[in-house]
Chain A
Amino acid sequence: MNSFFHWEIIGEYLPLFVEGTWMTIKAAIICVIAGTCWGLVLGVGRLAEARHGFWKHFLRYAVQWPIRFYVSFVRGTPLFVQILLIHFALMPMLINPSDGLLISGDLAREIRSQYGAFASAVLAITLNSGAYVSEIFRAGIQSIDRGQSEASRSLGMTYLQTLRKVILPQAFRRMLPPLGNNAIAIVKDSSLASAIGLAELAYAARTVSGAYARYWEPYLTISVIYWVITLLLSAFVQHLERRLGKGEAR
């Protein structure tokens, strides 16, 4: 056994694994929160409709259709491709020392060299998961009986009030399991960012396997770490489900 596995090479690169774990967790937390918010915006926009006049057309052509197009594009292309597209094409166009559209000059240089890969990875994963979350929200909202929103509207509540006080609290409970799945997917998908040099868990394993041409130890190690993270995450989601589910228990 000792001759087959050389766990000491993991010890040699331990800081890379520790920082990598931390980076994976950090990126996942930001992406889950931002992706859920972005998905809520998209999901509500996707369902927004008006009966008459200007708003009917505005909502359909300027809100619903662009969101449909976006969701279709994001869900129809690989996240890996999106990460490369954002890091090597979109971000350099926006933030660039010589002619960035958003930020240029020394600040741009500083941002790109210190946080470039992190920012690109977080942006790509957030934009990606937003599209999936929007579908979860849409399904969740549509699953609440139409009579409820009709009832609250006849009580004099506005559309947004109805959404916030009546529909979303109930819908959220139903959305929790798929949202939990999405969060787990984000943790795992963050490994794709190692391709743009983000020092997360998969990057640590790639570095070690590259240096020693050994594959069992580094990839088993990060598998276990990913597994522990996702197990903790699903335990947390189950806890939330139990707490929020109390109202529905009979």
Chain B
Amino acid sequence: MSFKKLAVFASSILALTLTVATATAAEPTYVVGAGGTYRPFEFETPQKELVGFDIDIIKAIANVSGFKIKLVSTPWEGIFATLAQGDRDIIVSGITITDKRTQMVDFSLPYFPAEQVIITGPDAKVTGLADLKKLQVGVVNSSAGDIVVSDEVGKSNTAIHRFDNTPLMLEELYRSGVDAAVGDVGVIKFYIKSHPEKKFKLVGDAKFTRQYFGIAVKKGNKELQDKINAGLKKIVADGTYAKIYKEWFDANVPTLPLQ
């Protein structure tokens, strides 16, 4: 190899290294935690790959905001602690924005309108939250449903059965282990659609105010929060959001309060 060739070779290697280095600097990789049992928002394929509405949204946001993500399946219990510990940079896991949670983590703008709903078996006579007082009620531990039911019947009441995830809670309801359950309407409707034979009934209540899902980052991580918000606005404006929404739910794409 002549000197000239060697020089070209060396400089191209150098250039390549530099390109890679600048690309990495420009496109940081954030570790994204998501639960694996919250169909259709995030769930695992048989190949252990995380998929779902939330996953598509965070991928789209990362794409337009110029960062890379690494998805890690993270159990719901203790999911907020992973931000403070630095194990995850972003949590997207169908998290309802609540005051209490806002004290612990920072949320992005809302990306999905969610509300609670009461689910019962086919012959139950439940017309609202007040009817749950004498019943055994299933909820997902520390979910928005848990908070509403705890307010209604007392948070230390042992008639509340707290489960790790929605499928487990609905299985217990189907097996009459609880008389009713309270969960997120998105997941529940998706479940009813795929399990019509279980004949679950849905009951609303005026106390279920409209709530929103938000993407959580570590308290004070304003830079990342801004990036996510900018990305979210972009994908709503360019129609990517509507396309993803229609893929997972229906054509009634909601208007998000993006201010």
Give the one of A88, A197, A215 with max B CB within 10 A.
A197
Tell me if A97 is interfacial: C-beta within 8 Å of chain B: yes
A79 on the B face (CB < 8 A):
no
Q: Is the CB of B78 within 8 A of A209?
A: yes
Q: Are A197 and B163 in contact (CB under 8 A)?
A: yes
Tell me whether A113 and B179 are in contact in the complex, defined as CB-CB below 8 angstroms, given that A14-B156, A197-B162, A206-B162 are known contacts: yes
- Asked if B17 lies at the interface with its beta carbon under 8 angstroms from chain A, I say no
CA distance A91 to B81 in the complex (A): 35
**Which residues of chain B are within 8 angstroms of A113 by Cβ–Cβ distance?**
135-136, 176-179
Inside 8 A of A92's CB, which chain B residues have their CB? Answer: 175
The answer to whether A97 and B158 have CB atoms under 8 Å apart is: no
Closest residue of chain B to A84, judged by CB?
B168
Q: List A173-213 residues whose CB lies under 8 Å from chain B.
A: 195-197, 199, 203, 206-207, 209-213
Instruction: Determine whether A125 belongs to the interface, using a CB cutoff of 8 Å to chain B.
Output: no
Q: Tell me if A2 counts as interface (CB < 8 A to partner B).
A: no
Residue from the list A13, A108, A207, A211 in contact with B176, Cβ < 8 A:
A108
A95 CA to B57 CA, complexed, in Å:
43
A212 and B80 CA atoms in complex are apart in Å by 10
Task: Indicate whether A136 reaches chain B with its CB closer than 8 angstroms.
Answer: no
Q: How large is the interface on A (under 10, 10 to 19, 20 to 34, 35 or more residues)?
A: 20 to 34
Interface pair B176/A19, CB less than 8 Å apart: no
Q: Which of B135, B146, B158, B172 contacts A210 (CB 8 A)?
A: B146
Asked, given contacts A13-B155, A207-B162, A210-B141, whether A117 binds B176 with beta carbons under 8 Å apart, the answer is no
Question: Do B161 and A207 touch (CB < 8 A)?
Answer: no
- Bound-state Cα–Cα, A108 to B81, Å: 40
Q: Are A112 and B177 in contact (CB under 8 A)?
A: yes
Name, among B141, B146, B168, B177, the residue most crowded by chain A CB atoms within 10 Å (CB to CB).
Answer: B177
- B138 x A112 contact (CB < 8 A): no
Is B56 engaged at the interface, CB distance under 8 Å to the other chain?
Answer: no
| A to B contact number (C-beta, < 8 Å) | 78
**Complex CA distance for A88 and B174, rounded to whole angstroms:** 10
Given the interface contacts A15-B156, A206-B77, A207-B162, does A109 sit within 8 Å of B176 by beta carbon? yes
Closest to B154 in A: A15
Interface magnitude class on chain B: 20 to 34
**CA A96 to CA B175, docked complex, whole Å:** 7
Contact across chains for A210 and B176 when beta carbons are under 8 A apart:
no
Q: Is B164 an interface residue (CB 8 A)?
A: yes
Q: Do the beta carbons of A207 and B141 come within 8 Å of each other?
A: yes
CA distance A197 to B77 in the complex (A): 14
Q: Are A16 and B146 in contact (CB under 8 A)?
A: no
Residues of B within 8 A of A117 (CB): 161, 177
Give the docked Cα–Cα distance between A99 and B47 (Å): 36
Closest to B147 in A: A211
Contact with B along A205-241 (1 / 0, CB 8 A): 0110111110100000000000000000000000000
A77 close to B (CB within 8 Å): no
Any A CB within 8 A of the CB of B142? yes
Q: Is B171 an interface residue (CB 8 A)?
A: yes
**Cβ-based interface call for B230 (8 A):** no
CA A116 – CA B159 in complex, angstroms? 12
Residues of B within 8 A of A87 (CB): 177
Tell me whether A210 and B178 are in contact (CB under 8 A). Answer: no
Q: How far is the CB of A198 from chain B (nearest CB, A)?
A: 9
Contact call B175/A211, Cβ cutoff below 8 A: no
Distance between A213 CB and nearest chain B CB, rounded to angstroms: 4
Check A210–B177 contact: CB distance below 8 A.
Answer: no
Given contacts A112-B175, A113-B179, contact A210 B136 (CB under 8 A): no
Interface centre among A13, A112, A114, A210 (most CB of B within 10 A): A210
B180 and chain A: residue at smallest CB distance: A113
A175 to chain B, nearest CB (A): 36
How many angstroms between the C-alpha atoms of A19 and B158 in the bound complex?
8
Interface residues of B (CB under 8 A from A): 77-78, 80-81, 100-101, 104, 135-136, 138, 141-142, 146-147, 150, 155-156, 158, 161-164, 168, 171-172, 175-179
Please name the 3 residue pairs, one residue from A and one from B, whose CB atoms are nearest each other, closest first.
Answer: A210-B142, A197-B161, A15-B156
Residue positions of A touching B, CB distance < 8 A: 12-16, 19, 87-88, 91-92, 96-97, 108-109, 112-114, 116-117, 195-197, 199, 203, 206-207, 209-213, 215
What are 8 A-B contacts with C-beta separation under 8 Å? A15-B156, A197-B163, A199-B161, A206-B77, A209-B77, A209-B78, A210-B146, A213-B101
